[in-house]
Structure 1
Amino acid sequence: MTGPASLARGVAPARPGTLHARSVTGGIRVPPRPGLTVRFGRGEEPDVDLAVGEDDLRVSRRHGELTYQGQRWWLRNTGQQLVRLPNGLLMHTSSEPVPLAAGYTPLFVTGSGYRRHLVELYVTGHDEPGLVPRRQAATLPPKVWPLDEDERLLLVVIGQHYLLYEEGPRPLSYRRAAAQLAYLRPDAQWSERRIEHRIVAVRHRLKETGFPYPLLHDKEAGAPSDNRLLHNLLRGLVESTTLVPPDLNLLDDDEPPV
């Protein structure tokens, strides 16, 4: 096989199907040639084409490979440790190869201790010229989700541990939330039942706007607990910066009611 690295360093625009692969120590660009295989891991050329986790003995010398077949790049784990893909997908050496979609795909190779070695993959699509530097372009703001003032206060109370960026946060119980809201807004009559109804209403509304995590019960897959759906709601709101740490000022009883 001709080494992909030797094919990858030109400056001509990438044609559709071109694979861009990058790790901490380098990157390559590989044309979509049927049967071509790109290998990554701790080893050296010519055993691997992209070095990953060179100082980590938990990473295999050949930890994974990407092969171009049927007009797609297929990823296979060939290492002893797991490979993690978006949406929590894990790949073992016994897993079937996974096709890469056009665009960006990050994967993480499990290493020693808490180490996770990032490999960034990008496949040029048919409707784009490839990776184009846009250093001077304006930054796109994050997508935030609309909340009214009552909803924001309620979600800040229930999600205060998330806004402290704690490890493994959990929602406040409706009972404790009702007690805190009764102290903060004694005239608002926040009962546990009212809290539940407002949370359900927010989940239904955001579900229709492309929220990134499940917010409603899936009857076919089996119903997750309401607490799990509430966790998904709070996680998505914090990750999108819809809720941010300064919102915790709403919990200061010296502040005037909003």
Structure 2
Amino acid sequence: MVFNGFTRTTPPGTILVVADERQYQKKPSANHEVLFGRGQDDVHVAVGIDDPYVSRKQGMLLCDGSGWRLRNIGKLPIRLVDESMVLAGHELALRTGCTPLLVGAPAHRVHLVEVYVAGFPKPGAEIGPDSPTRSPDEYELSEIERMAVVAIAQRYLRQDPAAQPMSWAQAADDLSRAPGAGRRWTARSVEHVVAAVRQRLATGRSPIPGILRGEMPEPVGNTLNHNLITALLRSATLTPDDLAVLGEDDEF
């Protein structure tokens, strides 16, 4: 079975870098470097060769013999798909699997660099195109918790541009107007329910980081709820179908 250039016998820690239909693969070895950037004669994987916003040497992948880490040696930040950034001169430890990297100036062009690090093969049946689709591990929410979280997450579920959590007051008003609401919601009651969800999911199975005060620098603003909503969307705990609790469907 081949997966992104790897086979089941690929040594763990092997790295594969893919960008602009170019790729480079290297087994783990101490003090080895893999370079990517615009200067195609000076790097192992060229990316954005006609884009002046990409540095000639934008990133370096360093191996200590087993694990790999990314170092940004360019000018602009290297962005990750979760919106975090590796700033110039900073590093990020890479885990096994795929780490997509975005390089370039967002207002101009953005280039994708896919970094794959091979892990140990898992026992059991191989996965193929006809294998059943698996769902990620979902977080458990009670009916009341789901209603409150959907109300603050509705902009994300509609995929509104630059979505932010709904205010407590607006969420309460929307819930109170929803068909079969069954109770009168207030801004305080929505806040209490969502705060309880954050507290439980920050310390339970597969804890969600960045959803409690004290974990994030002040002022936190909407950050705690944003992080909660993002985690629930990634795990498919929330889906557009949940908009039905507000009397909406998922067709927009």
What TM-score, normalized by structure 2, do the two folds share? Answer: 0.77
Structure 2 residue 211 is matched with structure 1 residue 215:
yes
Name the CA distance, whole Å, in 1 between partners of 2:9 and 2:154. 48
User: Residue deviations 1:114-142, cap 9 Å, x none?
Assistant: 533221222334x338xx87444333213
* Cα drift, residue 71 of structure 1: 4.4
- Asked whether the equivalents of residues 213 and 236 of structure 1 are also in contact (C-alpha less than 8 Å), the reply is no
The 1:69–1:249 alpha-carbon spacing in structure 2 relative to 1, beyond 3 Å, is closer
State the AA in 2 paired with 1:106. P
Q: Which residue number corresponds to residue 51 of structure 1?
A: 46
- Asked whether the equivalents of residues 38 and 55 of structure 2 are also in contact (C-alpha less than 8 Å), the reply is yes
State the AA in 2 paired with 1:179. D
- Number of residues of Structure 1 aligned to a counterpart in Structure 2: 238
Q: 3-state SS of the aligned residue for 1:13?
A: coil
Name the CA distance, whole Å, in 2 between partners of 1:250 and 1:149. 10
User: Residue deviations 1:137-196, cap 9 Å, x none?
Assistant: 333213322222222222222222111111222222222222333333565122333222
Name the CA distance, whole Å, in 2 between partners of 1:228 and 1:162. 14
Q: Which consecutive residues of structure 1, in runs of 5 or more, have no partner in the other structure?
A: 1-8, 254-258
- Asked whether the equivalents of residues 172 and 190 of structure 2 are also in contact (C-alpha less than 8 Å), the reply is yes
156, 163, 167: which is aligned to 1:169?
A: 163
The 1:251–1:17 alpha-carbon spacing in structure 2 relative to 1, beyond 3 Å, is closer
Identity %: 35
The 1:62–1:248 alpha-carbon spacing in structure 2 relative to 1, beyond 3 Å, is same
- What aligned pairs does 1:110-121 form with structure 2 within 5 A after superposition? 110-111=104-105, 113-121=107-115
Structure 2 residue 9 is matched with structure 1 residue 16:
no
Name the CA distance, whole Å, in 2 between partners of 1:11 and 1:195. 50
- Asked whether the equivalents of residues 82 and 90 of structure 1 are also in contact (C-alpha less than 8 Å), the reply is yes
* Cα drift, residue 50 of structure 1: 1.0
Structure 2 residue 247 is matched with structure 1 residue 252:
yes
Name the CA distance, whole Å, in 1 between partners of 2:26 and 2:230. 37
174, 182, 189: which is aligned to 1:180?
A: 174
Alpha carbon RMSD of aligned pairs, Å?
Answer: 3.2
- What aligned pairs does 1:1-258 form with structure 2 within 5 A after superposition? 13-44=9-40, 46-69=41-64, 71-85=66-80, 88-92=84-88, 95-111=89-105, 113-125=107-119, 127-128=120-121, 134-184=128-178, 185=180, 187-207=182-202, 208-218=204-214, 222=217, 225=220, 227-252=222-247
Name the CA distance, whole Å, in 2 between partners of 1:233 and 1:91. 25
What TM-score, normalized by structure 1, do the two folds share? Answer: 0.76
The 1:161–1:91 alpha-carbon spacing in structure 2 relative to 1, beyond 3 Å, is same
